[in-house]
Chain A
Amino acid sequence: MSRTEGRNLRVVLYEGPGSTPLADQDRYQVLSSLLDNGFEVTRPIAGQEVAPPDDAPVLVLGLLDGEPRVTADHEVHFRNLAQVNALDAAREVREATGARTLDAWKPWFPVIDFDRCTNCMQCLTFCLFDVYGVDAEQKITVQNQDNCKTDCPACSRVCPEVAILFPKYGKGPINGDVVREQDIQREAMKVDISTLLGGDLYGSLRTRQREARKRFSTERDESKALLERKRCLGKLKKELDIPDEVLMTLPSAEDIEERAARAKAKLAKRQARSQTVNDSRPAPSETEWGI
């Protein structure tokens, strides 16, 4: 199962007829501990609106005199807080219902602001982990968010329109804060990955690979090659805020070349297809795709 699959257990903190209201401090403690452990909690009050039920498993918690009458067409469990600890009860029901358990994954993935995105595909071209793709309408989309490297905001830094958000990031505008004029100017000035690597990314990597091979074959000087790699990685880290762990998992030059070939094949296939269906739009060029 993907780390992003599964339903959360929804806990209803019930204090209506057939129950004794909780003390304020107890209610807060229950809410806080449940939320901190990944549960969703609804506190219903008669006559006030809450989100309607869906098909998520439900646990009703409260100082219950009996089982409240509920009209639900799916599984509802009841636990009396006079007899059980709220968190223990929620964990037990979560286990019993197969609801999703809390994991250590920080939800870290790019979120596209389509009010700003121009579909330039720079993010798709830049990301080495296949996070991005295009949908049926050839619009950029986050396709494999599980591939995204936690705490790496590099793609948002190469987006010329400041259109990529990481809501868990510390600073604006990447965290979703309002995009200001100075942010746009900074983005315009900031490092372009292809410039950073000397023009053509793939060409540059090929050149580096050739030079590295030559160096190894003539000098057998591993320390020089490692120093060069360290220098490049240091530059990437500084300019794009890429964490060390991500730099360590960067694909090899061969992997990148293979990916570029795959992307080109995919493009050719799309181009061919767009010529065979009733699509009057011109097929995207290699330049438009940034390949």
Chain B
Amino acid sequence: MKILYCNCTYAKVVPKDVKQEVLRQLSDSGRAFDAVADLCDMSARKDPALKKIADGGCTKIAACYPRAVKWLFHAAGTPLPAEGIEVLNMREDSAEHIVKELVT
């Protein structure tokens, strides 16, 4: 199971304390992960890295609303597979909940 963290760098829509705490605990966890500055930005650029993520098997994505993440990948021409992807919503859920879901 891979882990992808989105920092939502280009906007302040994800609560700062949540994303910082998730990143800090992920950093300390001893788990391998990929972190991107901003999935929206990657989608806008149709970044080929999104295809690697979409095609890469089971992945937990810490970002924002699952509906937004799903269609951001689709907009980039690299739809996420129907199975094996779990999107965790840092806009709504607590850092504790997200971290627990990511690293367990």
Co-assembled chains A and B: yes
Q: Give me the interface of A with B, judged by CB distance under 8 Å.
A: 4-8, 10, 24, 27-28, 31-32, 35-45, 48-52, 54-56, 100, 102, 105-107, 109, 111-114, 142, 145, 165, 167-170, 172, 175-179
Q: Give me the interface of B with A, judged by CB distance under 8 Å.
A: 1-2, 4, 7, 9-11, 13, 20, 23-24, 27-28, 30-38, 40-49, 51-53, 56-57, 64-69, 71-72, 74-75, 91-92
The answer to whether B23 and A31 touch across the interface, beta carbons within 8 angstroms, is yes
Which of B28, B35, B64 is packed against the most chain A CB atoms within 10 Å? B35
| Assembled-state Cα–Cα distance A179/B69 (Å) | 15
| Assembled-state Cα–Cα distance A165/B66 (Å) | 12
The answer to whether A114 and B9 touch across the interface, beta carbons within 8 angstroms, is no
Contact of B40 among A31, A42, A49, A168 (CB under 8 A): A168
The answer to whether B27 and A168 touch across the interface, beta carbons within 8 angstroms, is no
* Interchain nearest-CB distance for A23 vs B (Å): 10
The answer to whether B27 and A28 touch across the interface, beta carbons within 8 angstroms, is yes
The answer to whether A167 and B65 touch across the interface, beta carbons within 8 angstroms, is yes
The answer to whether A105 and B9 touch across the interface, beta carbons within 8 angstroms, is no
The answer to whether A41 and B35 touch across the interface, beta carbons within 8 angstroms, is yes
Chain A residues lying within 8 Å of B13, measured Cβ to Cβ, are 167-170, 175
The answer to whether A49 and B1 touch across the interface, beta carbons within 8 angstroms, is yes
| Assembled-state Cα–Cα distance A114/B71 (Å) | 8
| Assembled-state Cα–Cα distance A56/B51 (Å) | 13
The answer to whether A176 and B31 touch across the interface, beta carbons within 8 angstroms, is no
Contact of A167 among B37, B40, B92 (CB under 8 A): B40
Which of A37, A50, A114, A170 is packed against the most chain B CB atoms within 10 Å? A50
Chain A residues lying within 8 Å of B68, measured Cβ to Cβ, are 111, 165, 167, 175-176
| Assembled-state Cα–Cα distance A102/B43 (Å) | 15
| Closest residue of B by beta carbon distance from A46 | B32
Contact of B27 among A6, A43, A111, A178 (CB under 8 A): A43
* Interchain nearest-CB distance for B41 vs A (Å): 4
The answer to whether B56 and A51 touch across the interface, beta carbons within 8 angstroms, is yes
The answer to whether B2 and A107 touch across the interface, beta carbons within 8 angstroms, is no
| Assembled-state Cα–Cα distance A285/B93 (Å) | 46
| Assembled-state Cα–Cα distance A29/B72 (Å) | 28
| Assembled-state Cα–Cα distance A265/B29 (Å) | 59
The answer to whether A36 and B7 touch across the interface, beta carbons within 8 angstroms, is yes
| Assembled-state Cα–Cα distance A118/B92 (Å) | 29
The answer to whether B36 and A24 touch across the interface, beta carbons within 8 angstroms, is no
Chain B residues lying within 8 Å of A51, measured Cβ to Cβ, are 2, 4, 34, 49, 52-53, 56
| Assembled-state Cα–Cα distance A142/B76 (Å) | 11
Which of B23, B46, B67 is packed against the most chain A CB atoms within 10 Å? B67
| Assembled-state Cα–Cα distance A107/B43 (Å) | 9
| Assembled-state Cα–Cα distance A45/B68 (Å) | 29
The answer to whether B33 and A54 touch across the interface, beta carbons within 8 angstroms, is no
